[in-house]
Amino acid sequence: MNAQMPSMLEWCANPKGIADQRSARLDELFPPDIALKTRKFHRQLESYRMSPLKSLGSLASLLGVGGIWIKDESVRLSLNSFKALGGSYAIYRFVTEKLGEEVPVSVLFAGEARRKLGDLVFATATDGNHGRGIAWSATRLGFKSVIYVHKNTSAARIDAIRKNGAEIVVVDGTYDDAVRQVSVDAQKHGWQIISDTSWEGYEDIPKWVMQGYATLVAEAQEQLAGQGLARPTHVFVQAGVGALAASVMGFYQQLLGEQRPKTIVVEPTDAACLLASVQKADGKPHHFDGDLDTIMAGLACGDPSPIAWSVLRECADVFCACPDFVAAKAMRVYAVPLDGDPFIVSGESGAVTLGALMGIMQWEGARDLREALELGPDSQVLLINTEGNTDPDDFRRVVWEGGDPVPDPYKIPVSRSFGG
C-alpha cells in the first residue's frame, strides 16, 4: 500500500466517557425541558416541518446491522441544512433577552423586535450552512446580517447566503481565520455575533445554538418510537467545531443515562480537531494544524468549540476521522441506493457518517473498532444527513463524474460484508 495513502479510518476511544453519570455541566447545557422549549419555538416558524426519518433496510442487511435510520435534514426549512435550527433559536433567545420578555415569533416577525431594539446587525463566520441560517433568521426579523466566509468557500454557498439578505465578507484564510476576524470587526462596529463556536467570555449564544439542535434529536426519537424502537443502539454524528455532535450526545446522555446509545464522532482526516484533542488525553481542546483542505466544507474547522468539547469529552465513546473518498463514496451510495431503499440527496458533510459506518462494517482493518462498538445484527444505527446539495458543482463532480474515488486497496466487492 502507498505510504502516502490515508487510512480509511483513524479512531480513538474516549477514556473519559461517563456513560452512566450525570454532570452539572450537562444539566446546565441541556436541562430536562430544553427540547420542549426549542420545539415550541420552531413550530412557530411558518415553514417548519418535521424532517423525515428514512430507513435504509436493504443496506442494513448488506452490512450486517439490524437497521440504518437517516434523519434527513436536506429539506429543513427549505434551507438544505439543519443549521437554521440552532441559529434561529439563538437569535430568538438573544432578542427576547434584550426585550426582557418572551414574545410570540409571529409578533417578532411582524417587526416588533426591530421597532423596540433598533438597527441590530447580526454577524458570524461560516463555511456556508450556518451563515445561511443566520441570514435567513435575521432577514425575517427585519435585521441586517454580515457573514464572514473563508477564501475557499464555494460561489454556490456564498450566493445562497447572499440571497437570504446578508452582506458577505471574504477572509483570506481558513474558517478559523474568519472566526477571529469577525470577532475583531464586530467589536469595532457594534455587531452582535451569533456563532456556533465559543471562546472565553462568549458562551451563552453557542449554548443556545446547541440547544436549538435538540429539536432535531427529539423529532428523531419520536419518529423511532413510531417504528417501535425505544432508542437507537448507535449514533454517528459528524463534527466541525462539535456543536451538533455535542447537542445529540448531550441530549441522549440526559434522556437515557447508562441506557444511552454508543456515540461516534466523525470528522475529516484533514480537519480532525476533536480526534486530535482526545488523542492528547489531557481533557482540553486542541488546535489541528494544517490547511483544512477537505471536500467536507461544513466540517473544515481547526479549533473545537470549548463548550462543545466540554460535552463530547464526557459523552462520546469514539472519535474517528475519514478521508474525502469515504464521504464521496457515501454520497454516491445515497444517490444510487439498493433496491427498496430511498434515494437521498446528501452533500459531502452530510454523507460522511454513512461512509464511516460502511467502512467500519466492511473494511477488515476496522475489525477491532467494529467489535469494540458491538455493531451487529441487533444494532439500530442513527445517522444525520446534515445537508443536501449545497454546492451543485462539487456535488456533480463527485456523483456524476466519480470524483474522489475509492483507492484500489479500499475497494470492497458490493456483495461482501464482514459485519454479519
Q: Which of 54, 72, 127, 176 is catalytic?
A: 127
Q: Identify whether 127 is a catalytic site residue.
A: yes
* Residue tagged active-site, from 54, 71, 83, 329: 83
Strands 53-55 and 67-72: antiparallel
If you write DSSP's letter for every residue of 47-84 in order, what string do you get?
A: T--PPPEEE-HHHHHHHT-SEEEEEEGGGGGGTTBSHH
User: Rounded to whole angstroms, how far apart are CA atoms 396 and 389?
Assistant: 9
Task: Please give the grid coordinates belonging to residue 44.
Answer: 412557530
Which SS3 state, helix, strand or coil, does residue 238 take?
Answer: strand
Q: Indicate the pairing of strand 380-385 with strand 234-238.
A: parallel
In whole angstroms, give the CA distance from residue 181 to residue 186: 8
Catalytic site residue 83?
A: yes
Cβ neighbors of 285 (< 8 A, separation 6 or more) are: 273, 274, 277, 303, 304, 305, 306, 309
* Sequence-ordered list of residues with C-beta below 8 angstroms from that of 167, at least 6 positions apart, any chain: 144, 145, 146, 147
Q: Please state, in angstroms and rounded to a whole number, the distance separating the CA atoms of residues 306 and 301.
A: 13
So which residues are the catalytic ones?
83, 127
